[in-house]
Every structure is written in C-alpha cells, then in structure tokens.
Amino acid sequence: MSIEVTVWTEIWQTVVILIGAIAIWILARTLVRRWSQRVRLKLESTGDLRDRARAQRLETVSRTFSTVILLVVVSIAVLIVLAVWGVPIIPIVASLSVVGVAIGFGAQSFIKDLIAGLFVLIEDQYAIGDVVELAGVSGTVEEIRLRTTVLRGLDGSVYHIPNGEIRVAKNLTHEYSRLVVDLSIAYEESVDRAIDVIGEESASFAADPDWAHRLIEDPVVLGVDELADSGVIVRVLMTTDPDERWTVKREFLRRIKNRLDDEGIEIPYPHLTIASRSVET
C-alpha cells in the first residue's frame, strides 16, 4: 500500500511540476510579447526610420528570447521531475557535460551557426522585414533563428541559410535606402539641356504630395557619370524610405521616360545596321 501511495504521490508531483512549467512558459511568453508590442508601437508611432529599425530588431530579439526561455523551463522541469522520481541528478548533469563536449567536437558547424546567430542579433546586422543579400541569396528576412536565417525571395521562394555560412551581410533597407538611377542620353542630344530637364522632373517628383513622404531627401542630379558605348550616362541619387525604394524607382523612371519623350530627348537603344554589297560575276 505504501508503495502505491508513493507512486501516486510522485505522479501527482510530476503533473504539478509540468503544469507549473507550462504556466511559467505561457506567463513569460505573454509578458515578453506584451512588452515587445508596447515598445514597438511606441517606436513605430514616432515615424523615425531609426526607431522603426529598432522596432524590427526588438521583434527579432523577443522571438529569440522566448525560445531561450522555453529551453530553460523545459530543462529545469525535466531535472525536477527526475529528482521527484529518485533519479540522481548530479551524475546525469556530469554525464551530459561529457556528452556535450563530445557532441561539440562532432557538431562544430552547428555550434558555429549558433554563435553566428547570436552575433547577428547582438550587432543588429539585419532584422525581420529587412531586404538583404546573404550567401549569394537575396530576399526579405522572415525569421532569424539561432541556427538559420529564413529569407523569402521576390518569386516567393524560401531560403534557409545557416548563420555560419554568412560571410558578408548586405542590408539594403537598414534605416534608409539609397537609389542610384543611371539614365542614358543619346550622344546627339545636348547634355546640358538633358540634365536641366532631369533636374526639373526630379524636383517635381519630390514636390508631389503623393510621393514626397517616401523620400528622405530631395533627389540629386550628380551629372555625367560615364560616356558609354551607346549614350551619355547621367546619374541621379535618391534617398528613400526603405520599404518604398522599388516603388519610388519605378515611378521615377516612368516619369522621366514620359518627360524625355515630351522634350524630344532620345534615350538610345541598340541598333543593328546591315550593309549589303553586290558581287560582280
């Protein structure tokens, strides 16, 4: 009878421990999520691009922190349950330490990925929502895990990139984006006149209330950048909201094309000239 009572006592203690662990995990996750949402809303409401970048980083860190809390709670709960059932914990911890060292030698790549993932978060190299190029793959960051970074490409493809494989991280949308727009003008046209027209259209674009809020600074016409094979390259520099860079570029190119057409300024394109020669027989 005493053995049965002891078993039932251990079962009930195990159930209580598991329920307590689940409750602690839910409470911790809820607190982290609410705190993260409150701070994010406060940062995003300022309208400052740097604050928005901090909000994205906060979301990434909060997800990682929630995962770490889950691992800690599960580990502690398992050890307590083992202690309740009379299993010696100290030998198990010592054994796990030895096994951990052995696994560490055999899983160096895995550990390298974890360490690299931590540095990505600490150094704020990129955050969820950023458009980046990692390990030769470009896309929008959907998730930053401790071991991998998940990107979604423009065509919808999802890439899982081990953090340890990232040698250079190219972030296209950190705080602001800068567009370099090269416009080709035919050699037969007056370069000075073309630059004046491009400058007028750039100023008109920046003054448009539907587009002004997407620009951080007014467009700058840098002037002639190259004498290319088929035309004179005029470079325009634009600093935009990170999320609007491609929308701004498409609209600006549309306007410039229409304006150059209206002004009769030719945009060169490849021509093929065929020369025929008659052969006397």
Domain boundaries, the chain: 2-106, 108-174, 177-263
Which candidate, 195, 206, 264, 263, places its Cα nearest to that of 233?
195
For the stretch 132-141, pLDDT in tens is 999 889 998 8
Q: What is the pTM of this model?
A: 0.58
User: What dotted CATH number matches 177-263?
Assistant: 3.30.70.100
For the stretch 238-248, pLDDT in tens is 999 887 888 99
- Round to whole Å and give the CA distance between 15 and 221: 70
Tokens of 267: 């945009």
pLDDT of residue 271: 63
- Beta-strand ranges (E) seen in the chain are 131-134, 137-144, 148-152, 158-162, 169-171, 177-185, 220-227, 232-240
| Mean pLDDT for back-to-back runs of 10 residues, the chain (281 residues) | 63 84 86 80 68 67 77 84 75 62 61 79 80 90 84 90 89 84 92 94 93 90 90 93 88 95 88 64 54
Torsion of CA 111, 59, 140, 236, to 10 degrees: -120
pLDDT of residue 185: 93
Tokens of 264: 């009769």
User: Domain 108-174, what architecture?
Assistant: Roll (2.30)
Which candidate, 129, 204, 215, 155, places its Cα nearest to that of 179?
215
